[in-house]
Structure formats: C-alpha cells, structure tokens
Amino acid sequence: MIISIASGKGGTGKTTVSTNLAMAIGSDVQLLDCDVEEPNSHLFIKPVFETTIKVTTPVPEIDKKKCNLCGKCDEICQFKAIILIAGTTVMTFPEMCHSCGGCEKVCPEGAIKETTRELGVIQKGSRDGIEFVHGKLRIGEAMSPPLIEKVRSFAKSDKFTIIDAPPGTSCPVIAAMKGVDFVLLVTEPTPFGLHDLELAVGAVKILNIPCGLVINRSDIGDDKVKDFAKKEGLPVLLEIPFDRKIVEVCSRGDMIVENIPEFKEIFLTLYDNIKKIAN
C-alpha cells in the first residue's frame, strides 16, 4: 500500500505526521520524502545513507557543423529552450528544456544530440525497520516533478510506503499524489489552513483518491475546518491539540513518538484507520 501525506498550506505538520507514523509502524515501512525542494524528513528519521545517485534529464546539444539553420527545432519547441536567432545562430537554453525529445526527432540533419542537465540527487538509507529515500533538488533547478517521480520509482509494493509530499496544489504535489491508494491531508483550523485545504481536497478529487484529515494544533483557531470536513464527508482521523512541548520536540528534530509516550499508540491507531479506509 502507498499513501501520500499532503496539505495545501505549508508548515501544517506533513513531515511531523509522516516521520512519526513511519517510526510508530517501525518495520516493513518505507518513507519517501518527495518534498524535493525542501526535504526535511531525514532531519527527524536520521537515517544512515548508503547510496547517493545523481539524477539528470536529457537536454539538446547542437552540432554546429551539421546544423543547416532550418529552424524546425525552434518551431517544435514549446518551452523556448532552443531558438533560432535572426536565421544565423541556434541557441539552446537547457534550464528551460522539458526533455520532450521533439527537437532531436524533427532535425533533418541529425545535428541534435543528447546531453544532460542535473536535476538533483537521490539518497537512500535506512534506520531500524524504516527504508528511507529522499530527493534533493539542485539549487537553481526549477523543475521538481521529474525528480519526485524518480524518488517514487523506489516504492516497493510489498511495503507500507509513506510519501511526504510538497505543499501547494500544482504540478509537484500532483506528482507526489497521483496513483496512490490514500491521501492524508494535514491541516490546521485557521482561515489559511481551510483555504488551502479546500484547494488540496479539489486536487485529490481530480485524482479520484480516497482521503482523510489530520487537524494539527486543533484548538488554536475556529471550527470551520471541521464544518468543511463534515460537509465534504471527509473523515477526521486524528486531532493533535496545540502543545508547546510538541513544538519544542519537533524544533530539535526529535520524534514525538519517542518523547511523548502516548503518541505511539495514537499513530498506530491512525495507521489502522488509514488501512481500513484505503482497503
């Protein structure tokens, strides 16, 4: 089974829930941190990393000797990654390239060959019974979805796999949610939390995936998130009240399940409820 933990709004507690859930389960569990722009799960799990893999994407390179300046590559490229300037020079902008391969296919002279752009790295490791994988987007790289997909390629069907998703509702989040068995949305009962939750629920609906909520800091704001959950028929699987002790534990990179004993049982109940709904 594979689940995504997402949120819409940032800073609601996705990583806290992902890491503590993985830690409570303890064995036959995988944690894939797909928030590749700002991966944080490793700061809590503290895995021993065994391998680091560089991830690249193909981009074009022009053989100027073969190029006859026909401009077909410029015509097919939708992303302004290859441009014929004033009919005299073809230039490539590798950072704009989406790696569709169109220019290479359309070139009648075979003047375009493949080179690569680095997207970032993937690191694999483990701690006790938890298999851990995360991606780290290269600073300056704009496109995270291909790296997210690469992290997801390490998912194993015989494990319980948890994806820590990025915030937002656009392409990186979709890349981290599509095709999973269940989405757990972590929110907070504030106007910002509710607004972004509504968007996240919209995204989950488009993908047609069952979902449930965790309301973090459940006593800080108002009741509108609960009213929304009721109206939408979304199960609230866990409420975590605000507690300065939790905030301090998390700020140090420590695990709630190891520092506040009753939470191990709370996260295991969450695990059981997720399995019930997803099956």
Partner 1 sequence: MKELIVISGKGGTGKTSLMAAFAYLAKNKVLCDADVDAADLYLITDPDIIEKHDFQSGHSAVINKDKCTECGLCIDLCKWEAISETFEVNSIECEGCGVCVYFCPEKAIDFPLNTCGEWYVSDTRFGPLVHARLGIAEENSGRLVALVRQEAKKLAEEKGLDLILTDGPPGIGCPVIASIGGASAVLVVTEPSVSGKHDMQRVVQLANHFKVPTFLCVNKFDINQNLTDEIEKFAKDKGLTCLGHIPFDQNFTKAMVQGQTIFEYNSDSLAGQAIRKIWKSLLETWPK
Q: Which two tokens stand for residue 21?
A: 């859930």
Rounded to the nearest 5 degrees, what angle is found at the Cα of 12, between the Cα atoms of 40 and 237? Answer: 110
Q: How many residues bind partner 1 (CB under 8 A)?
A: 57
Cβ atoms within 10 A of the Cβ of 163, count? 28
Kindly state whether residue 241 participates in binding partner 1, applying the rule CB under 8 A: no
Pattern 130-169, partner 1, x by CB under 8 A = -------x-xxxxxx---------------------xxxx
Q: What is the CA radius of gyration of the chain?
A: 22
Enclosing H/E stretch for 4: strand 2-6
Cβ atoms within 10 A of the Cβ of 141, count? 17
Q: Which is nearer to partner 1, 255 or 274 (CB)?
A: 255
Residue type, 209: I
Alpha helix segments (H runs only) across 117-220: 145-152, 171-177, 191-207
Stretch that binds partner 1, among 107-115, 232-240, 248-256, 262-270 (CB under 8 A): 248-256
Kindly state whether residue 195 participates in binding partner 1, applying the rule CB under 8 A: yes
Residue in 54, 89, 171, 276 binding partner 1, rule: CB under 8 A: 171
Kindly state whether residue 190 participates in binding partner 1, applying the rule CB under 8 A: yes
If you ran DSSP here, which 8-state letter would residue 270 be given?
Answer: H
Q: Which is nearer to partner 1, 14 or 159 (CB)?
A: 14
The binding site for partner 1 (CB under 8 A) comprises 8-12, 15, 37-38, 40, 43-44, 76, 78-79, 98-102, 105-106, 137, 139-144, 166-172, 174, 178, 190-192, 195-196, 199, 202-203, 206-207, 220-222, 244, 247-248, 250-253
